[in-house]
Chains A and B, each alone.
Chain A
């Protein structure tokens, strides 16, 4: 059987605000993990990183005007056209950041249906790690995305030692999540472009 030859598009959405940000740092580590896993399949992987900080004003303007400026339209198109998505947000006030949510508020409700999504978050303390489960996972479940079983949380301490000795280390979790995403991306059948809803039958 011949492998499909179209390159796989991996899109990374990072909502970190610092430059550099720990969210981007985590995003890059996860991206490398996915790339490593896919290297064995012979499929070319194209990575596109969307830094929401650069689109912050455009996102606010879209909320006000109802249409995206060109750079934002391009980012939304990349996200909705991706074979796999990595999303990383800092934890703000017990949830994803407002910027992160505002970006996904601009995505059409059915545009992520069936898309493999790896969710990840960063925070100052491991006590916020369940934000992934009570905020991000329901968000993408609503969008009917295929959210991976492993969600990656990086607390400040994870960037130093092994973190909690009773759980897997950050590198272990990154590898596991990367394997899951790579497996799903490789398994995705190339979709036909989504067709506009047929309207003619309204008047049939």
Chain B
């Protein structure tokens, strides 16, 4: 199973000090968080994509290319790449290029975004959100698999004799996830292509995540990619930990109460009861995360949201230490024990990564 973190990239005042980091500080902090993720043994670092303040990550491949140079092992991913408002031709080229830079340590997650005006700002119509996701991805899928593409659709100018360049590393495109909170069409899209399905799993009750994943699994089998339990599922999660759970609650409460998305709403207690948010000891996080498996079955990727709501970098790095030292090793072992044979352990890795892994282990054993 793969464990990692996903960042929204929000620039939020620290409610305990009133201080707002600059965009520069936030971007450098994101890089520090990504490096730390590798250092503490996580498998995935994923960045969101936003085109409006107070968010900074408008240029994911710039960030991920930089992180690629500073890391050796961690998979670089997105959460999400806007398949609706980005030109699929540019996505095909940017992420193929990133694959080469990162020696294959790349996958990505398609999403439609959560900010209405981004559509008109990028020349699109939000009412066509699903249709854009369907058509643009169909084109992207071909651009990575066919050397010369003739194409015509509704939303983009036609292509004749077009070759996206560079070609994917060793001819193998990055693995793709499709992320959606509530659109069954996107679960269907992931199932149709045999791609992964990721549920953000942060803002809504687990029962909702469960229904979406179940739909995806059934449709994955329907489209002939394997048994429902072999479908590739990823979940988000949100945690804040201290050795003593009361300390975690006391320290996190002001960040929760003022958080950009759900702040000034329900109490921390109600929200932790009704959604997968866990604020407490590492052991509580382990138990809650293992509980996700009861809802959606054995799954392949767990990403945690750690650097948000104005938490200072120092705190986020401490959280990553706890995650990497006390939580993930236990979860790896427990999930592995529970997973039946025939269920994929993780999302597919690029052949170049697998080669490198076997080179490393040869060196270590020699």
Contacts and interface: CB of A to CB of B under 8 A. Distances in A.
Interface in B173-190: 184-185, 188-189
Contact of A67 (B184, B192, B274): B274
* Most chain A C-beta atoms within 10 Å of own C-beta, residue among B203, B265, B271: B265
Nearest to B193: A203
Given A64-B264, A64-B265, A67-B204, A203 B192 contact: yes
B134 interface: yes
Given A202-B189, A203-B188, A65 B134 contact: no
A194 to B, nearest CB: 14
Interface residues of B, number: 22
A160 interface: no
B204 A199 contact: no
A63 B265 CA distance: 8
B340 interface: no
Contacts of B204: 66-67
Contact of A65 (B130, B188, B219, B271): B271
A69 interface: yes
A69 B188 contact: no
Contacts, number: 45
A138 to B, nearest CB: 23
Given A60-B265, A65-B203, A67-B203, A197 B270 contact: no
Contacts of B192: 203
A202 B274 contact: no
A197 B184 contact: yes
A61 B263 CA distance: 10
Interface of B: 130, 134, 184-185, 188-189, 192, 203-205, 208, 219, 261-266, 270-271, 274-275
Interface of A: 60-61, 63-67, 69-70, 196-197, 199-200, 202-203
